[in-house]
Amino acid sequence: MEHKKLEFTVPSECDGMNANVFLKKYCKVSARMITRLKREKDGIIRDEKILRTIDTVRAGDTIILSMPTDKNEVIPIKGELNILYEDDYIIALDKPSDTPVHPTKIHQTDTLANFLAYRQQRRGESFTFRAINRLDKDTSGIVVVAKDRYTAHQLFKNMNKTYAAVCEGIIVEKGTIDKPIRLLEDHTIQRTTAPDGAPSVTHYTPILHTDRHTLLSITLETGHTHQIRCHFSSIGYPLAGDDMYGGSLNFITRQALHCDFVSFVHPITGKFVEIKSELPEDIKDLIN
C-alpha cells in the first residue's frame, strides 16, 4: 500500500505534551486514524524512531505520519476535466451541468469520479474519490476533492462556498430564508419546507435583475440536499429551469445554480486558498 507523508513540527506551546494529545489537538488527527497509524509500519515517527502515543513530545520535534492511501475502486473512463486548482492533497474541478459527481445506479461511467480515476491511472496515482462538496447532476461549478482521508477530514467543515443562482421574479433586497427542510412524502429525492424538517438557513444577496429574473449570490449556514432550490421555491421565487420546484424551462433547461467560489485554509500548508469559477454560458444568457 502506498503512503503519504505528513510532517508536523512541535511548537513551543506543546512542549511536554502527551503524543496522543498532540496528534489529536494540534495535528487534528482523529482517534480512528491514530489507531490505524499505530498498526502501520513506521506509522508515527520521530527522529527516525517509532513515536508511541504514550510518549512525550518536545518543542522542535519533527513528527512524521505515514498516512496509508486507499485504492480508487471507481471505473476509469476517459472524459474531460476542467481543473481549477491542484496540489498534492487537493484537486478542485469545474463541473459541467450535465455531469454527476460520483457513480450511482443509473450513472456508472459518466461521472467526475470516473474521469478523475482515468487521469489518476494515466499519471500513476491512486486515491479514493472524496468530494468535500457534492453538487446535483444539473448544478454546475466547483467540486473540491481531497486526495487523502486526513485532508478530507480537515476540509469537511472548514470550507466556505458561495453559489450564483438565477431565480424567477425580481428580488431587490438581501435576505435570509430560515425554514426547516425534509423529504417530501412519497418522494425519494424532492424536498419541502416543514416544521418537522432539519434546520436550514440560506442567505442571499441580489446582484442584478432583468425584467423577469434575478441573479443572486448565496451562502449557506447548513448544507442539505436541494436546500437552495427548495428554499427559493418556498418563498415564491423558484430557480429558473428548476421544474421539480416550480421553475420554468422556457429560458434554460436545467436549474440555474452554480457554485462559483470556494475558500479554505489549506490543512497542510496553512495558506488561504480561493478558487473561482466563471458563470457558464446558459446562465449568462439568462441575465444578458
User: Tens digit of pLDDT for each residue in 184-223?
Assistant: 998 889 999 999 999 999 999 999 999 999 999 999 999 8
| Alpha carbon distance 157, 152 (integer Å) | 9
Any idea what DSSP says for residue 184? P
pLDDT at 52: 94
pTM value > 0.75? yes
Is the C-alpha dihedral spanning 157, 176, 233, 170 positive or negative? negative
pLDDT of 66 higher than 70? yes
Has 87 been annotated as catalytic?
A: no
Among 184, 183, 218, CA closest to 201: 218
> What does the alpha-carbon distance between residue 239 and residue 254 come to, in Å, rounded to a whole number?
9
d(CA 262, CA 251): 28
Q: How confident is the model at residue 133 (pLDDT cuts 50, 70, 90)?
A: very high
Q: Which helix (H) or strand (E) holds 46?
A: strand 44-46
Q: What are phi and psi of 286, to 5 degrees?
A: -65, -40
DSSP codes joined into one string, 206-227: EEEE-SSEEEEEEEESS--TTH
Catalytic residue among 136, 148, 242, 260: 136
Share of residues in the chain with pLDDT > 70 (%): 98
Asked whether residue 1 carries a pLDDT value surpassing 60, the answer given is no
